Structure 1
């Protein structure tokens, strides 16, 4: 088991390659979020309950977590370009299988593989870092991350509007076509670099276990990230059900368009990244958690009005992205030679938490409606804040 120094001279990051990875990160990660505004339509067409349809979103997040843990580390062991090209075939097949689904079981299986294969953005981020000039590394990585965040936001708008007018199946056929075009561009334009890890796959996974055991700040960041995303997705996966009821009687297009409010979160991520080196990160995370709790209070009191939803979404998104960026800053500073594997641990935990939040939100909606969702989402953040206040002072 051995890590080799990077050969930074083997390729150079051009503007066209950077834009390809930025746009590609957004288009690929979007596959995980197309289903959220469409869950109500899927439930009606397949004649299943809203809670059962909610499992589609949950399983997608579980698949993404599995892909982060099992596939992303391969980027240290094999040539990233080859892995990405092969992975794109699985993405296209999974999207088509989802579009063709005639029952919820087939759809859930397809959802898992959509999540599993859509981890390419987490390979683009370290690739951008490896190809960048040291003076431009932060800027270039930030650009790819911005593309990823915008992809998450725009995906809900895209699927919500198209799903309302063309149907949910067409959303996935179009998504498969987009990924096919991107696959061709990646095949011809993405540069290749040599792997940095020398050893077996078992050795690679063993090294990940080593970091989990020996880096307490990584474990704490992973728990915080998991709880934050769990709270966030408890909201987004039940929003479409909430909007279909009185007083809104709205379709998937409105649920998608509310994703525009999340642009504030993307801007917050950029701002937090700039100030994180000058502000105590523990204080920053505490303030962000308090913001998320405030957002749930707004959603609980005024969540039956569009104004309340808009303000609540904005504050919730700013809080989540602030915690996420602060966590990643802490994680990447612990061992610069193992950023891929540290990112694997953190992001796997992040999306496991997201899948649990999706599940808990769906169950809360089924038994207690909107008030149950609000209590569940707020509980995630309260637990996060308590854990942070107890354990963060012990971390260097």
Structure 2
């Protein structure tokens, strides 16, 4: 796999991935998805710098999320149609250009346009993961996906503290310059290691998009796994939207303190490789049930920890919630990638679109419940979502 350009060998299903390739995939996915969360941590600095009124400052986050949603719908499923290596390299390059555009923007319009490009191209991470499933051996596919997902969730969790720390030392534009440079490094690494993969689906672009919707409408297993993870990701975003408000108001933490709390919560990403190993052993049902039960108990514990003023206990709960989220995600992707090898990108596109929409609703719920009902309203909402997921899970027959 060291040749370049057109001479590069075609990827064969199940040919395996070495440790270095898995590490690069994990780094690339984490770095690309982290770009969705930098502005969320810096909204209080970016809005005034771009002369955005407070009522519109949220657009600096929303437009990036809209770009990612559009990319999930329009771009991710292309992994079943066009040569994967070229598609991935183009998205990484496009992400880097968008980040540079954000860093040099002098107006709100320029910032928002570049933010949409970043969100749209960051979907390249959702092309890399199905490619990894294609390359991984069947016997350890869950472990490979788990290791890569550990990198992805690590990127999500590290994005906010990294943005806060960079802004404190060098201004809000620094993190975007840094990430643009990181995209160039990742582009070079992927250029060297990515094999070619040319899907032979026999479909054109319109048929690929329709096929994605058909898979979501007809595959009961896909629907079930999307429902589980959609509710789980809504809980995840609910917690991480509201907890900074709690930390500032109840515990008096400043931006650096909140960043350190988020950094501690990133420890939950370590559960992803373990979840992959459980899935490879056929323990998907058990891993899913454990994750959903852990989320229910975690939200209830979060209420008690805050009421008792125990910050360390709340940090432990954050790790538990993140670990449960990752366990369910890895178990779910292990299942859906086994449904149809020739349609993995479409399966992933449909799955992640549902998960992303539910996550966006969770973010809104986090802000709404905390503003109008306080921390216990947020906690009970999260617990209610966990109960809903457990009720759906109760209808799933335990495999022999």
**TM-score, normalised with respect to structure 1:** 0.84
Residues 263 and 111 of structure 1: CA distance in aligned 2, closer, same or farther (over 3 Å): same
Which residue is equivalent to 2:166?
A: 162
Residue deviations 1:187-243 (CA, integer Å, cap 9, x gap)? 455332322322211121222222122211211211221111111112213333333
Residues 361 and 135 of structure 1: CA distance in aligned 2, closer, same or farther (over 3 Å): closer
Q: 1:300 aligns with which of 285, 300, 303?
A: 303
**TM-score, normalised with respect to structure 2:** 0.84
Aligned pairs for 1:140-179 within 5 A:
140-179=144-183
Task: Determine helix, strand or coil for the equivalent of 1:21.
Answer: helix
Q: 2:273 aligns with which of 243, 263, 270?
A: 270
On the 8 A contact 1:36/1:240 being kept in 2, the answer is no
Aligned pairs for 1:56-205 within 5 A:
56-100=60-104, 107=111, 109-132=113-136, 137-205=141-209
Residue 370 (structure 2) pairs with residue 370 (structure 1):
no
On the 8 A contact 2:142/2:277 being kept in 1, the answer is no
Residues 236 and 167 of structure 1: CA distance in aligned 2, closer, same or farther (over 3 Å): farther
Residue 379 (structure 2) pairs with residue 379 (structure 1):
no
Residue 231 (structure 2) pairs with residue 219 (structure 1):
no
Give the distance between the partners of 1:290 and 1:87, measured in 2 at CA. Answer: 37
Unaligned runs of 5+ in 1: 1-5
Residues 263 and 367 of structure 1: CA distance in aligned 2, closer, same or farther (over 3 Å): closer
Task: Determine helix, strand or coil for the equivalent of 1:380.
Answer: helix
Of residues 126-135 and 148-157 in structure 1, the stretch that sits farther from structure 2 once superposed is 126-135
- Kindly state the Cα deviation for residue 78 of structure 1 after the two structures are TM-superposed: 1.0
On the 8 A contact 1:156/1:255 being kept in 2, the answer is no
Give the distance between the partners of 2:79 and 2:296, measured in 1 at CA. Answer: 37
- Kindly state the Cα deviation for residue 275 of structure 1 after the two structures are TM-superposed: 2.1
Which residue is equivalent to 2:345?
A: 340
Residues 161 and 264 of structure 1: CA distance in aligned 2, closer, same or farther (over 3 Å): same
On the 8 A contact 1:66/1:348 being kept in 2, the answer is no
- Kindly state the Cα deviation for residue 291 of structure 1 after the two structures are TM-superposed: 1.4
Aligned residue pair count: 388
On the 8 A contact 2:143/2:276 being kept in 1, the answer is no
- Kindly state the Cα deviation for residue 354 of structure 1 after the two structures are TM-superposed: 0.9
Which residue is equivalent to 2:39?
A: 35
Task: Determine helix, strand or coil for the equivalent of 2:396.
Answer: helix
Task: Determine helix, strand or coil for the equivalent of 1:198.
Answer: coil
On the 8 A contact 1:97/1:110 being kept in 2, the answer is yes
On the 8 A contact 1:58/1:355 being kept in 2, the answer is no
Which residue is equivalent to 1:3?
A: none
Residues 47 and 286 of structure 1: CA distance in aligned 2, closer, same or farther (over 3 Å): same
Which residue is equivalent to 2:4?
A: none
- Kindly state the Cα deviation for residue 347 of structure 1 after the two structures are TM-superposed: 1.3
Q: 1:349 aligns with which of 354, 358, 361?
A: 354
Residues 267 and 12 of structure 1: CA distance in aligned 2, closer, same or farther (over 3 Å): closer
Residue deviations 1:69-128 (CA, integer Å, cap 9, x gap)? 211111221112222232233312332343455676765554443222112222222223
Unaligned runs of 5+ in 2: 1-9
Give the distance between the partners of 1:26 and 1:173, measured in 2 at CA. Answer: 17
- Kindly state the Cα deviation for residue 17 of structure 1 after the two structures are TM-superposed: 4.2
Q: 2:261 aligns with which of 258, 262, 283?
A: 258
Residue 288 (structure 2) pairs with residue 285 (structure 1):
yes
On the 8 A contact 2:147/2:276 being kept in 1, the answer is no
On the 8 A contact 1:62/1:352 being kept in 2, the answer is no
Residue deviations 1:325-356 (CA, integer Å, cap 9, x gap)? 22223322333332222111111111111111
Residue deviations 1:276-304 (CA, integer Å, cap 9, x gap)? 35566445423322211222222222225
Residues 289 and 105 of structure 1: CA distance in aligned 2, closer, same or farther (over 3 Å): farther
Which residue is equivalent to 2:252?
A: 248
On the 8 A contact 1:268/1:318 being kept in 2, the answer is yes
